Structure 1
Amino acid sequence: MTTMTTSSGPVQVVKPTFAGHLHDYWGRVRGGDIGSLPAILGLVVLCLIFGVARPSFFSATNFANLFSQGAAVIFIAMGLVFVLLLGEIDLSAGFASGVCAAVMAILTTNHGWNWYTAIPMALLTGLAIGFTLGFLVAKVGIPSFVVTLAAFLAFQGILLMLLEGGKNISIRDTFVLSLSNKNMPVGVSWVLAIATVAAYAATQFLRVRSRASRGLVTDPMGIVLARIAALAVLLLAAVAVLTQERSINPLIISVKGVPIVAPIIAVVLVVWTFVLGRTTYGRHVYAVGGNTEAARRAGIPVDRIRISVFVIGSFMAAIGGIVAASRQNSVDPNSGGSNVLLYAVGAAVIGGTSLFGGKGKMINAVIGGAVIAVIDNGMGLMGYSSGTKFVVTGLILLLAASVDALSRRRAAATGNR
């Protein structure tokens, strides 16, 4: 306990301890606030299972492949987190990503546009799609399930029309192709990793100092140092693996370094995490998702918030479509179709975002996307069919939804809602 002097006199401030912080965290978990804990534990278990069954799962080559395999789903899932936070759904996100990717491919390949003009046009297409969906849901009053189901069907047709009945458009722009297929230089990989750890440490220390200066309760320094150490170990270990030579014949071509798509995911994660956790807009999103009527009475522009989450969702779908087109080197009538939407929704929910609204974080999409990528990758290495992959992924999604429902019931029973 420490004493601080304020305008109203000395105030006793209880300084939490490391053990007390852990005890409080465990209390929140028991009360139903489990966050991404099940997904993290599941990810660790899956990695151990696949690593034991197929030692090649832990190879540098396969580790790098996981980033390109899961990137598109993670980006789309990030957008869906915003939509799910309001208790809404977007069934069109998959084919919306395909339409946006087709716009980019047509402009770069068929019309000779540069990437710095074609990519913004694809992103603007995503923004227009999201505004249209959001307007129909918020202003016209059509349920999001119906609106996005109709869009799901319509975007398949639009994609076919853009591709003139089913043509495959190859991506030739070197910048676009590099997004999912190239790696950063080894030196840049290390510098970026060290800079990231340093920036995170500075942010943590500044947050503690800021809260302490205002007389607010701060996290124990042991917890802060543990967070920084955990990030440093995970990040530097990952870079150490990814900077190994992955080429079969390094004398002809060298393949090493962190995939370019990895820092892109990190930057987008940081931006949206800041938006949700540190801005008025983010607080409004949680408020509307938690109780729409209460938010409206508090003066929050509910309709604008509802429109905005669909705009963000389709914008992120556009980014996911661009990254997917980069990985496949082309756009075809199935771009954004097949299992893309199912995996994206699954990633958000498996990671810990609630289907009931008002509960979730941006990191949920990344963790859930990692789970999806590990399942797809690991079962592929073990020789399982696509049917088996779908069954296992579906069961895990059902388990995640069940955990969410049970945790909300537990939180309501203990008064932690």
Structure 2
Amino acid sequence: MTVHTPTANQSGGQPTPQPPTADRRRALSTGARALFSRRPSGINLAPVILGLFVVCVGFQTANSNFLTPWNITNLSLQVASVGVIAVGVVVILLLGEIDLSVAATSGFCGAVLGVLNVELGWNAWLSIVVAVLVGVGIGTFQGAVVTFFRVPAFVITLAGLIGLQGCTLAIFGDRTAINFDYAGQVAKLTSTFMTPAAGWVIAIVSVALVSYLTLNERAKLKAAGLEHAELRTQVAKLVGLAVVLLGVVAVFNRDRGVPVAVFVFVVIVVGMDYIIRQTRFGVRLLAIGGNAEAARRAGIPVQRVRVTAFAVGSGLAAFGGVLAASRLIAATTQSGAGDTLINAIAAAVIGGTSLFGGRGSVYSALVGILIIGSISNGMDLLALPSAAKFIITSLVLLMAVIVDAIAARSGRSQVKE
């Protein structure tokens, strides 16, 4: 029990009570938990998901082929590679930085894969691993320059974009493409589909695993006296997840089955979300993105986390390039060019990840790329020109950035108050 000693005021009147020590400690504890909570700084995905629903309903109304199993399967394969790149973009945005070289990294690493597997005859899986490691090395180098030389990430990664495009052209020389074996392992990465039974088993196991982890985390928070969601709320969310997941598998099974590449993409999203929410690296990443100086004073190794984040982002970009090469069954001089960079960054931002750092979710990459992919696919079905596709995507991105800026300003105002 804490004893509070009253202190007399200068006029000799009634003693002025001091703030209770226990209350001060409780306030400090609450603030610390808020700063270093293992849950990412919250974003509300509901409006984004509603937007995706509206897009799908709109295009289905305009063209009845939009929501057919065949088109949904093709759409999911189209967005998988850029979606993986977008996950890497989310990691770097959470840090409060930007990487403009992710698309060029994906194209360069796709070219490396082609040289190793086709020209040098390396094993396909070994070639994929080396290509991804090359991407990790690129990110590590750029992250180190940004961190230790205090050069803006925008400048360094812009230089990386230009340099990597040049390196890609140098690899191809007079050629425009390196073609993979149609029956090889690289091509099968995006042309292989699960059996219906395998799809159902994975869906059921996934729902069971997510339910266990979610309810177990809630139990731990409750036991520690920390803020936690109501049981019925989480159960409702889990039921919704089960309905969506089983429904998606049912749709895929009506066509060719669950695409392996899409499954890998979802595993990457779920895995990175777990890393951001449940690991020390994720907590530190969010803390630095929220306030780098406060994180440094709290003892967080800011430099190491920054370099690691860039390495992870580029590694994911490299794997996205592998998926793109597999989808085309070729590595080309145009890989990673065009709208790849725009779509990857737009997916992260449209999904709700803040450009100002410290606020977002890995799932924003998944939802964001589905919105962008749906717009692109729907316009292709309607035979609309590319100009309309770019204009509409830009308007959606503009709205997302404005909402993000308003949310960031509102957050700063609340902190000042």
TM bin (shorter chain) = 0.7 to 0.9
TM-score, structure 1 length as denominator?
Answer: 0.87
Q: Which residue of 2 aligns with 1:78?
A: 87
How far off its partner does 1:74 sit?
A: 0.8
Report the Cα distance in structure 2 between the residues aligned to 1:416 and 1:366, rounded to whole angstroms. Answer: 33
Q: 1:94 aligns with which of 103, 106, 125?
A: 103
Aligned length: 376
TM-score, structure 2 length as denominator?
Answer: 0.87
Q: Which residue of 1 aligns with 2:77?
A: 68
Q: Residue 132 of structure 2 contacts residue 315 of structure 2 at CA under 8 Å; is this kept in 1?
A: yes
Q: Which residue of 2 aligns with 1:168?
A: 177
Q: Which residue of 2 aligns with 1:25?
A: none
Asked if 1:186 is matched to 2:200, the reply is no
Secondary structure in 2 aligned to 1:103? helix
Report the Cα distance in structure 1 between the residues aligned to 2:128 and 2:145, rounded to whole angstroms. Answer: 26
Secondary structure in 2 aligned to 1:354? coil
Asked if 1:240 is matched to 2:240, the reply is no
Q: Which residue of 1 aligns with 2:302?
A: 302
Q: Which residue of 2 aligns with 1:129?
A: 138
Structure 1 residues 165 and 302, CA gap change in structure 2 (3 angstroms): farther
Q: Residue 48 of structure 2 contacts residue 352 of structure 2 at CA under 8 Å; is this kept in 1?
A: yes
Q: Which residue of 2 aligns with 1:412?
A: 412
Q: Structure 1 vs Structure 2: percent identity of aligned residues?
A: 39
Report the Cα distance in structure 2 between the residues aligned to 1:163 and 1:401, rounded to whole angstroms. Answer: 37
1:95 aligned partner, one-letter code? A
How far off its partner does 1:90 sit?
A: 0.8
Task: Give runs of aligned pairs for residues 338-357 of structure 1, distance below 5 A.
Answer: 338-357=338-357
Asked if 1:331 is matched to 2:331, the reply is yes
Report the Cα distance in structure 2 between the residues aligned to 1:333 and 1:295, rounded to whole angstroms. Answer: 42
Secondary structure in 2 aligned to 1:55? coil
Q: Which residue of 1 aligns with 2:20?
A: none
Secondary structure in 2 aligned to 1:156? helix
Deviation track 1:46-75 (CA, whole Å, cap 9, x = no partner) reads 001001101100100011011111111110
Report the Cα distance in structure 2 between the residues aligned to 1:165 and 1:288, rounded to whole angstroms. Answer: 45
Q: 1:108 aligns with which of 117, 139, 149?
A: 117
Report the Cα distance in structure 1 between the residues aligned to 2:99 and 2:227, rounded to whole angstroms. Answer: 39
Task: Give runs of aligned pairs for residues 3-402 of structure 1, distance below 5 A.
Answer: 34-172=43-181, 174-244=184-254, 246=255, 256-402=256-402
Q: Which moved more, 1:179-188 or 1:68-77?
A: 179-188
Structure 1 residues 287 and 217, CA gap change in structure 2 (3 angstroms): closer
Q: Residue 34 of structure 1 contacts residue 407 of structure 1 at CA under 8 Å; is this kept in 2?
A: no
2:403 aligned partner, one-letter code? V
Q: Residue 356 of structure 2 contacts residue 408 of structure 2 at CA under 8 Å; is this kept in 1?
A: no
Q: Residue 109 of structure 2 contacts residue 318 of structure 2 at CA under 8 Å; is this kept in 1?
A: yes
Deviation track 1:359-386 (CA, whole Å, cap 9, x = no partner) reads 1111111111111111111111111111
1:277 aligned partner, one-letter code? R
Report the Cα distance in structure 1 between the residues aligned to 2:363 and 2:337, rounded to whole angstroms. Answer: 24
